[in-house]
């Protein structure tokens, strides 16, 4: 046995129900679900959908609380370029991009990996980008209680690229600021840092 295995676990009853629904959809659009290339597609699609919406079963605040540490550091902490993948709740098509998060500690810091994890918790639900930005912002603000928190998300939406207006090069930017980041000088410092390449 390998020293480490990352195993995906699925509720078999729910997976079977979703698989049957995908099988029906494939038939309804005029395909042959018994065709060789499609034999396992309903099951794969069901597992993909359950994976992409696993955020409903996760508690972002609990993830943050599990890695909070007392620390006197009180300058800006930024994690930028966090990849995110979500599903638009209007068409159930993907939108994807990057999140940039900053906070100013108020006696406590949080393990850095927890910020990308809470992005995933909220992104792995049916979403709109505006709510996703708000959910991340308010979770950090309410749980960590920092002096300030900022979130900026830049994303491309397949519902705009593949259908509808079919604009392939458009990017949507949303932002939210609380506490010290509502001051223009702090906000500008954050925006300058996420825009620059420090490496």
Backbone angles phi, psi at 103, to 5 degrees: -145, 155
Q: How far apart are the first and last CA of the chain?
A: 40
Q: Pick the catalytic residue: 17, 57, 90, 182?
A: 90
In the residue annotation, 88 being an active-site residue is answered as: yes
In the residue annotation, 58 being an active-site residue is answered as: no
Q: Pick the catalytic residue: 100, 127, 157, 180?
A: 157
In the residue annotation, 139 being an active-site residue is answered as: no
> For residue 36, how far is the Cα from the chain centroid?
34
- In the chain, where does DSSP find H-type helix? 12-28, 41-52, 60-65, 114-123, 129-144, 158-161, 184-195
Q: Pick the catalytic residue: 89, 130, 168, 182?
A: 89
Residues 6+ apart with CB under 8 A from 195: none
Q: Pick the catalytic residue: 100, 127, 129, 180?
A: 129
In the residue annotation, 90 being an active-site residue is answered as: yes
Backbone angles phi, psi at 98, to 5 degrees: -135, 145
Q: Pick the catalytic residue: 58, 108, 159, 189?
A: 159
Q: Pick the catalytic residue: 27, 54, 58, 91?
A: 91
How many angstroms separate the CA atoms of 104 and 51, rounded?
33
Q: Distances from the Cα of 54 to the Cαs of 60, 87, 119, 142, 167, in angstroms?
A: 12, 12, 12, 22, 29
Q: Pick the catalytic residue: 88, 100, 127, 180?
A: 88
In the residue annotation, 159 being an active-site residue is answered as: yes
Annotated catalytic residues are 88-91, 129, 157, 159
């Amino acid at each position: 046995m390998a020293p480490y295995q990352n195993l995906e676990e699925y509720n078999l009853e729910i997976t079977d129900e979703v698989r049957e629904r995908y099988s029906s959809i494939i038939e309804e659009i005029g395909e042959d679900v018994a065709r060789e290339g499609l034999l396992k597609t309903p099951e794969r699609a069901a597992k993909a959908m359950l994976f992409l919406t696993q955020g409903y079963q996760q508690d972002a605040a609990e993830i943050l609380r599990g890695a909070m540490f007392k620390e006197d550091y009180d300058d800006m902490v930024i994690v930028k370029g966090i990849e995110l993948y979500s599903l638009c709740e209007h068409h159930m098509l993907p939108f994807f991009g990057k999140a940039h998060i900053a906070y100013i500690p108020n006696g406590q810091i949080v393990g850095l990996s927890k910020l990308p994890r809470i992005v995933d918790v909220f992104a792995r639900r049916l979403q709109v980008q505006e709510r996703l930005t708000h959910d991340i912002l308010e979770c950090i603000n309410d749980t960590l209680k920092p002096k300030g928190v900022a979130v900026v998300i830049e994303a491309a939406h397949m519902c705009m690229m593949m259908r509808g207006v079919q604009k392939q090069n458009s990017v949507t930017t949303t932002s939210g600021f609380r506490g010290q980041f509502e001051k223009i000088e702090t906000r500008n410092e954050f925006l300058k840092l996420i825009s620059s390449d420090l490496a």
